[in-house]
Amino acid sequence: MTHAAPHADPPPGLPDPDEAARASLRRHKAVATGLVVGMAGLTVATYWLPPSFAASTLQAAAKAGFVGGIADWFAVTALFRHPLGLPIPHTAIIPTQKARLGRALGRFVGNHVFTGAEVARTLEKLDLAGIIARSLSDPATARPAAQALAATLPKLLGSVEDGRARKVLTRIIPRMLGGPEAGRLIGRALRQLVDGGRHQEVFGYVMSQVKTLLIAREEAIRTAIQDRVREQGGRVVGWVLGATVASRVLGVVNAELEKMEADQSELRAAFDEWVRREIARIEEDPARAAEIGAALRQVVAHETVRAWFWDVWSRMRIAFEADAAKPTGRTVAFLEQAVSNLGTLLATDPAAHARLQATLHGLIGGLIPAGQVKIADFVADVVAGWDSKTITERLELRIGPDLQYVRINGTIVGFIVGGLAYAVLHAIFGPTAF
């Protein structure tokens, strides 16, 4: 895949964003070229001067300045194109060697810029956890985040429906719920219910249902008792005592149920004592807790319970997916509130803020080795895919003015060194050609 750089020429009708850079490059080139031309003119002019040490020194300096300027012009031009259009070896370096330059640049960025130390130094200046906290707390961010999370729910729920996931859950859930710890967990849950008096509410509800059932079935029970008395005592005894026995039995049962409804009844107290004793056994006796856990495991592993569980799950999944698809549904509202609460927690809890910051630093630090390789390859691919003409012009516009100073300095330094060299040689060897 190539990454073409934007073409250097702007679209018709639009101003050229690089016009200022082009003008600057033209000015610097004109100065550098003018200086070389000046050295050439000065060299020619010295031949009309009367022979003297000063004239010879000026001529030597001008020649050296001209040669230095030409040499630096050749060197600078060779970076971007072939000088005078001649295919001289090792010229037009950037367009012909951009792939190799891209690899070298990529390795430099990966190995010397994107390093663990540099990234860690940058991360120390960034409060990543704070940025995340502010983003999550912002309603403009929390709402889209909640909608994005809601959109992923169908896929997430669908993964649970996968055959392999279902088999794994079918094996894991009974084991998770079937150990001694599950029994102790049940014991703690029952303890909270008992401390809150919920067990008595359950007991009262059961008794009221039993009483309602007896009232509804009173005639059927009376007939059953009469038939039983007739079977045991004969037809005559059953006819004489059957109705009386049935009435007495039903009266005693109803009276006992009336006693149980009282809050301070002996049966309620006995039930409370028995429940607390069993809870204590579950919490304190490992064997009893293991028994409860094993029983729970058998219940959960039963085919009927499994079928019921997956039926409930299917219904819940359909409901979740339908609600998650609504922008104003309860799922989106719940997730939005959860995201906002998380942002508030990170902003107000220093410990949570520090843990997230450390986690992010560790995560980014762990990705650096692989990231260095990826960044180096990315830079190399991008540079290799650029258009040669465009990248050449872009680079020349950016660094060309500075390179023209190389030409200017080369011309001036050549002029000075040439004059000094001639003066030294003349002092040592007398008049000499240069």
Residue 384 lies in a domain: no
Say if residue 67's pLDDT is above 90.
yes
Alpha-carbon dihedral sign for residues 269, 270, 271, 274: positive
Distance CA 197, CA 200 (A): 6
* Residue range 390-400: mean pLDDT, rounded: 82
Say if residue 23's pLDDT is above 70.
yes
Residue 157 lies in a domain: yes
Residue 376 lies in a domain: no
Torsion of CA 148, 154, 156, 158, to 10 degrees: -160
* 3-class DSSP assignment, residue 325: coil
Residue 115 lies in a domain: no
Average pLDDT of the chain to the nearest whole number: 75
* Residue range 152-164: mean pLDDT, rounded: 66
Say if residue 13's pLDDT is above 70.
no
Asked if residue 401 and residue 324 are part of one domain, the reply reads no
Q: Which residues of 117-148 are buried (b: 16+ CB within 10 A; e: fewer)?
A: eebeeeeeeeeebeebbeebbeeebbbebbbe
Residue 270 lies in a domain: yes
* Residue range 412-419: mean pLDDT, rounded: 93
What angle in degrees, to the nearest 10, is found between the helix axes of 98-108 and 350-385? 160
Distance CA 47, CA 18 (A): 44
Token pair 């702007």 is at which residue? 10
Distance CA 129, CA 347 (A): 8
Asked if residue 272 and residue 203 are part of one domain, the reply reads yes
Give me the domain span that covers residue 44: 19-75+395-429
**pLDDT value of residue 231:** 59
Distance CA 67, CA 36 (A): 8
Model pLDDT for residues 219-233, shown as the tens digit of each residue: 666 666 656 655 555
Residue 80 lies in a domain: no
**pLDDT value of residue 44:** 94
Asked if residue 410 and residue 305 are part of one domain, the reply reads no
Written as six digits, the tokens of 281 are: 């056994």
Written as six digits, the tokens of 20 are: 């200022």
- Of 102 and 188, the structure prediction assigns the larger pLDDT to 102
Say if residue 118's pLDDT is above 50.
yes
- Of 414 and 134, the structure prediction assigns the larger pLDDT to 414
Asked if residue 278 and residue 185 are part of one domain, the reply reads yes
Asked if residue 333 and residue 416 are part of one domain, the reply reads no
Say if residue 86's pLDDT is above 60.
yes
**pLDDT value of residue 27:** 93
Asked if residue 287 and residue 182 are part of one domain, the reply reads yes
Asked if residue 203 and residue 271 are part of one domain, the reply reads yes
Say if residue 214's pLDDT is above 80.
no
Count the domains in the chain. 2
Asked if residue 299 and residue 188 are part of one domain, the reply reads yes
Please say whether the beta carbons of 375 and 106 come within 8 A: yes
The segment with the largest mean pLDDT, out of 156-170, 266-280, 307-321, 391-405, is 391-405
Residue 67 lies in a domain: yes
Distance CA 126, CA 135 (A): 15
Asked if residue 186 and residue 46 are part of one domain, the reply reads no
SS percent in the chain: helix, strand, coil, step 5: 85, 0, 15
Asked if residue 71 and residue 182 are part of one domain, the reply reads no
Residue 60 lies in a domain: yes
Confidence grade of residue 178 (pLDDT, cut at 50, 70, 90): low
Model pLDDT for residues 334-352, shown as the tens digit of each residue: 888 888 888 888 788 888 8
* Residue range 74-91: mean pLDDT, rounded: 86
**pLDDT value of residue 239:** 46
Asked if residue 399 and residue 324 are part of one domain, the reply reads no
Say if residue 187's pLDDT is above 80.
no
**pLDDT value of residue 3:** 43
Say if residue 403's pLDDT is above 50.
yes
Q: Determine what percent of the chain is predicted with pLDDT higher than 90.
A: 13
**pLDDT value of residue 237:** 45
For 103, counting Cβ atoms within 10 Å of its Cβ (0-12 exposed, 13-18 middle, 19+ buried), the class is: middle
Residue-by-residue DSSP string for 19-67: HHHHHHHHHHHHHHHHHHHHHHHHHHHHTTSPS-HHHHHHHHHHHHHHH
Asked if residue 294 and residue 203 are part of one domain, the reply reads yes
Q: Alpha helices of 217-285 — where are they, by DSSP H?
A: 218-261, 266-284
Distance CA 393, CA 386 (A): 12
Say if residue 1's pLDDT is above 50.
no
Confidence grade of residue 236 (pLDDT, cut at 50, 70, 90): very low
Please say whether the beta carbons of 259 and 267 come within 8 A: yes
